[in-house]
Amino acid sequence: MRNDIKNWVFSCDMMSYNVISAFKELNEVDWGTDKNVMKGDYVYIYLVAPIKKIILKTKVVIDNIGENES
């Protein structure tokens, strides 16, 4: 178990991606990022205007997914 678990906040615009439906319908969501997010970290999903609030808390289950694996 890592001792350096990090918390991240990723923003989402519902006009471009329906994150709520994605998390309801899929077992896992591949959220590509250039950040150093690692297995065990927590990612909070923040919806931009007009909602302007964090709606989800997620836990990273795998890191460093290659393009062929996603």
Q: Which tens digits make up the pLDDT trace of 9-45?
A: 999 999 999 999 999 999 889 888 888 999 999 999 9
Say what the pLDDT of residue 45 is: 97
- Inter-residue contact 14 to 56 (CB < 8 Å): no
Say what the pLDDT of residue 32 is: 81
Residue 43 identity (one-letter amino acid):
V
Three-state secondary structure call for residue 43:
strand
Helices (H), 1-70: 19-25
This prediction has a pTM of 0.82
